[in-house]
Chain A
Amino acid sequence: MADITKTGAYICSGCGIGDCVNVEALATVATKEGKVAFAKTHPMLCGAEGVALIKGDIASGAVTAVSIAACSPRVCYDIFDFGESAVLDRIDIREKVAWSQEPGHLETQALAEDYIRMGMVKIKAMELPVPFIPEEPSKTIMVVGGGIAGMTAALNAAKAGYKVELVEKEPALGGFANSLGMRLPDKAPYDAPMENDIGQLVEDVIGDDYINVHLGATINKVSGGPGIFDVSLSNGTDKAFRAGAIVLATGFNPYDVKKLTKLGADLPGVVGSVEFESMLKEGKAPPKRIVFILCAGSRDDEHLPYCSSVCCASSLKQAWLARQANPEASVTVIYRDIRTTGNMEFFYKQVQQDPGIFLTKGETPQVAREGDELSVTAENTLLGGKVKFMADMVVLATGMVPSTLDPSVKVDKPEDQMQDFDRDQVGKASILKLDYRQGPEVPDLKLGFPDSHFICFPYETRRTGIYAAGTVRHPMDASVAKNDAIGAAMKAIQCVEMVPRGEAVHPRARDLSHPEFAMERCTQCKRCTVECPFGAINEDEKTNPIPVKSRCRRCATCMGACPVQIINFKNYSIPMVGAMIKAIDMPDEDEERPRVLAFICENDAMPALEMAGINRLRINPVVRFVPLRCMGSLNLQWIADALSSGWDGIMLLGCKHGDDYQCHNVKGSELATIRASKVQETLDRLMLESERILVDAVQISDWQRLPKMIDGFVEQISEMEPNPYKGF
């Protein structure tokens, strides 16, 4: 708890604040009601004089906590940075008041004064975080998978000076690339296949004394978390080591060509692209008439719904090589779309120049045996309508299946005891064997790829410190996989550097706060261990939660989940927000001045609200906004606090959930919605309108829509009777 007698309130009157509200009255609220040591007003706190004023008070020992009522914390962050010399809180009365309210109005002044009241109790409840640093953290990086991606990740981590433990299940390094003859071009002018140089990469890895290679190895168990992953594996002998972060680069398996019976996979002369590749590699002369069928089992709901990205280019490569090996050969390629993006277009153009290669769009290809020959028919071709090609060999270009999938894996639990994360483990190949309460493997979003789901943050899996790279993460070609691996190595390095500093990794990078559990009051309800989106909390045999703190992303979903409020952060806690809720000057029932409390996501709804202010849109003055780290941190105690303090309505403005979820903590807004629905049920039982609670999704770009949406809710609340608990 910050010492309130050593807390200073600094109230800025600049940027129109002084024209909009009576700042001296705000100062009086801070001292008289907030009981802070003093409140100072200034016409431009962010100027040299204003900052010197605050720094002087800190230096003299007059204050150890500073509450600045001025602009949004999203600006002037560098100016109002006092490091560890004082607890700092910012109260936004510029964007949220001066820029969005009617100047001089009674309700405007009431709003600003309430924000001061809320700010004073907030800072009182805050403390400087004490970083959590695990004992004996390791900076070694474990890379799982010794193919192109894994080896590239290992080499690049080593080049930056990090020790690597490289784990490969096969007896040799190289992965899928070992099966290739020539490879796709990745250098200008991109016009011909290149020598397969996987051997060089293998040599580089073996020759690097920072990389310890484990061949023919199976992981037995990974326990701990970032900085302290304790790994045991065996490859004949048992080995154990500690790693700080993990790169998962286990690659893909080619789609099983045998499943493509509709494309004649069971007919003699019909081969998969992997088999054809080995024919070329072994120097077997290809037959005279070859037909390639692209998207064989890809872009197909019966097989792989997605596009595997590389089959177009690799089939063109095989067609080109077949023509080199047998200049008499005539090759037909039946495609749906030729997807040679970027510079691969140059190779496509080169292949198009070859008169022996005929490329045509064609749909619903059919393969049949006609005597000694094969026939392939396709519809809607470039030749007009249905066309039939005769062939000696048909090559089916099969797609990629992430190696994380193994349909034979079941989860040994009755259905009614299955949590979402248990279901997620069904069909997951046993690779990492994580000692996590939420299951042994990295969860995926869909289709088995342990991708982040975020366009802007591709590497964040739902297991902190474990970064997927290469084709296990997304279908991609080798040159993209190499860069992908280097990026994943970077994330792993970051993790091993940040954990020993006690810092959170992405997205709350550098946050030093962490959840603290008052275990003596724990009821072993398991909600925190179940709801943590990142599997950060283990359980002992009595279902006590065991937080593994370096796994924590600091979203505070556990804090929101806990029914007995035992999980809190030094600078973000249930009592803190609870005090804010109770701090306002609640108008009496007969005043007809309703009050609405809005919990808003700090990353999306809050900037949206501020942008409304920046664009000088009017925001309804009866609403007080409380930014949350994540909607997932919403604890139902706050709803109870709000209803019992007389708030007439409550809004929860988080981000979109569902398939295209935008919550950076994956499940935060979804969990808040579920929790709120329970309260709504309770309200109905208490004959209190459940419509008093609104849950909605707000995007950062919704600033124009947001004020109207808020007005709509306030109007609805105004039509109801006041909250009957007002004044109690």
Chain B
Amino acid sequence: MTAALEAAEMGRKVTLVEREPYLGGRVIRMAKYFPKLCPPGCGTEINFRRLRANPRVTIMVDSQVASITGARGDFTATIKTRPRYVNEKCTACGDCEKVCPVERSDSYNYGMKNTKAIYLADALAMPFRHSIDMSVCKGADCGECVKVCKYEAIDLAMEEKTTTITASAVVHATGWKPYDASRIENLGYGQIKNVINNVEMERLASVSGPTEGRILRRDNGEPPSVVAMVQCAGSRDENHLPYCSSICCLVSIKHANYVREQYPDSDVYVFYIDLRAPGKYESFYRKAMEDPKIHFIKGKVARIEEDESGRAVVTAEDIIGGGKTRVACDLVVLATGMEPESKSVAPLMAKFNPDGFILEELQGDAGLIACGVASGPFDVTTSTQNSTAAALKAVQAGARR
């Protein structure tokens, strides 16, 4: 959104292609930003407002780029738009949801909540329209939603659409996904109910999430009294993500804040290798260190096991204190790293480094530009900053000089 808006406000026409049915990516699903602990919806709303005010941006949701041909200054892109089965007449009144007989696991909430087969991703969703998950919808045999919709907004026969556009530059802002923590066998993710990852924690802390913002044990819904954050879960590890994901330390400090704010008697343990709070983020770390109930322990977690009461027992080395430490936790949050999505959105023309980040230095001059986590593991503010830069690189591809 940032790259699109920066170019459009300058005066260029932009087509914004988004795979999901809504804009906002990963951040709109987060409860708060670090270090101000402010809601991402606030800045997102400003960007939505900028989009509303700017007809130079054509928004294509439910869409993916199928192919790109051509060269800097003259690309042709073919864009496939999945059928949403709900057209632009939808007013999001929600009558359809009431009658829909089928439920689906909600990917927006990482499967921790269900929606109907016809659903609105979020109250802040843009575009503000419903979608149908056809993998669970009963189709025309049911048709309850079609009957109840007053606006002829539901079209169960909608088909995939192909659009061809031309562009002088291509910006890849395809973001990231959380590293699949179930691949880190010793940490028990997917086996132990009370072991979750950091994006799930964001949904638990979000008022629009599965628990309406209350952080609760995943097995019995009880408030936790001991919570652990496990840093570098898959990052800085040759067997998983060899790089540092840059943000997870700060995310975990943020999560420690969530827990401590909700449960003043709780204890939070943060197991880390290096606590990386660069620049002005240092004060955010310091504030957490001043809380005697947040315990920072330098040491890698060896394993997590479930005890008979369903608690997750963390065993870690304690480098400074010496020896091993074992903490029985009600909830363990794995600080999983960011894995670029870029490879899964092939076939584009981009070139990747071995970790899947787009190597812009090889092709920026060719009009193929990358920003945000498509180009490296960055936090939101750095992503915003290099997306603004990406907009200029794209503008240059169409400049006459």
Contact = CB atoms under 8 A, between A and B. Distances in A.
B320 A361 contact: yes
Given A603-B46, A611-B123, A699-B39, A497 B10 contact: yes
Contact of B93 (A15, A338, A474): A15
B76 to A, nearest CB: 23
A475 B279 contact: yes
A241 interface: no
Nearest to A476: B279
Nearest to B375: A483
Contacts of A306: 279-280, 282-283
A456 interface: yes
Contacts of B354: 188
Given A337-B276, A493-B395, A47 B31 contact: no
Given A299-B282, A455-B43, A483-B385, A701 B31 contact: yes
A78 B58 CA distance: 11
Contacts of B278: 307, 309, 339, 341, 475
B39 A338 contact: no
Interface core residue of A338, A456, A704 (most chain B CB under 10 Å): A456
A607 interface: yes
A81 B32 CA distance: 33
Given A480-B382, A487-B389, A337 B275 contact: yes
A639 to B, nearest CB: 26
A228 B274 CA distance: 48
A308 B212 contact: no
Given A305-B283, A703-B123, A660 B36 contact: yes
B384 A46 contact: no
A14 interface: yes
A138 interface: no
A679 B24 CA distance: 40
User: Chain B at the A interface: mostly helix, strand, loop or mixed?
Assistant: loop
Interface stretch (B78-86, B102-110, B238-246, B328-336): B238-246
A294 to B, nearest CB: 11
A409 B157 CA distance: 71
Interface residues of A, number: 94
Nearest to B361: A187
Interface in B357-401: 359, 361, 376-378, 380-382, 384-389, 391-393, 395-396, 399-401
A382 B273 CA distance: 12
A668 to B, nearest CB: 14
Contacts of B361: 187
Interface string A327-352: 00000000001111111111001000
A346 B242 contact: yes
Contact of B213 (A74, A361, A449, A704): A704
A566 interface: no
A364 interface: no
A428 to B, nearest CB: 18
A454 interface: yes
B101 interface: no
Interface string B203-219: 00011100011000000
B388 A46 contact: no
Interface string B332-352: 000000000000000000000
A219 interface: no
Given A14-B91, A447-B280, A490 B151 contact: no
A369 to B, nearest CB: 29
A411 interface: no
B274 A611 contact: no
Interface stretch (B47-55, B178-186, B258-266, B308-316): B47-55
B244 A703 contact: no
B37 interface: yes
B147 interface: no
Contacts of B242: 345-346, 349
Contacts, number: 241
B246 A342 contact: yes
Given A457-B43, A487-B385, A660-B37, A14 B151 contact: yes
A78 B54 CA distance: 10
A703 B89 CA distance: 26
A75 to B, nearest CB: 5
Nearest to A453: B36
A382 B319 contact: yes
Contacts of B73: none
A11 interface: no
Given A14-B91, A307-B282, A345-B243, A603 B45 contact: yes
Q: Which of B35, B40, B212, B277 has the most CB of A within 10 A?
A: B277
B246 A456 contact: no
Nearest to A304: B282
Contacts of A187: 361
Given A75-B128, A345-B236, A457 B41 contact: no
A361 B91 contact: no
A74 B91 CA distance: 12
Interface in A508-564: 509-511
Given A14-B151, A337-B274, A494-B6, A71 B91 contact: yes
B111 interface: no
A78 B128 CA distance: 12
B384 to A, nearest CB: 6
A615 B150 CA distance: 20
B75 interface: no
Contacts of B395: 160, 490, 493
B354 to A, nearest CB: 7
Contacts of A16: 93
A720 B42 CA distance: 35
B190 interface: no
A449 B283 CA distance: 15
A454 B43 contact: yes
Contacts of A611: 123-124
Nearest to B277: A307
Contacts of B32: 701
A338 B36 contact: no
Nearest to B244: A345
A345 B213 CA distance: 35
A25 B275 CA distance: 64
A569 interface: no
Interface in A676-722: 699-705
Interface in B145-174: 150-151
Contacts of A43: 150
Contact of B9 (A78, A81, A457, A498): A498
A7 interface: no
B207 A703 contact: yes
B53 A307 contact: no
A497 B11 contact: yes
A613 B376 CA distance: 39
A490 B123 contact: no
B85 to A, nearest CB: 19
Contact of B279 (A456, A474, A484, A662): A474
Contacts of A361: 298, 319-320
Contacts of B220: none
Contact of B206 (A384, A486, A701): A701
Nearest to A384: B322
A700 B41 contact: yes
Given A458-B385, A487-B391, A700-B45, 8 more contacts: A44-B150, A156-B393, A160-B401, A337-B275, A341-B278, A380-B320, A476-B279, A700-B41
Kindly list the 7 A-B residue pairs having the minimum CB-CB distance in the complex, ordered from nearest. Answer: A456-B43, A487-B388, A486-B389, A701-B39, A490-B392, A337-B274, A341-B246
Interface of B: 5-6, 9-11, 31-33, 35-50, 52-55, 89, 91-93, 123-124, 128, 150-151, 206-208, 212-213, 236, 242-246, 274-283, 286, 298, 319-320, 322, 353-354, 359, 361, 376-378, 380-382, 384-389, 391-393, 395-396, 399-401
14 contacts: A44-B151, A47-B89, A75-B92, A210-B401, A299-B282, A345-B243, A456-B40, A456-B43, A456-B46, A456-B384, A509-B54, A603-B42, A607-B124, A700-B124
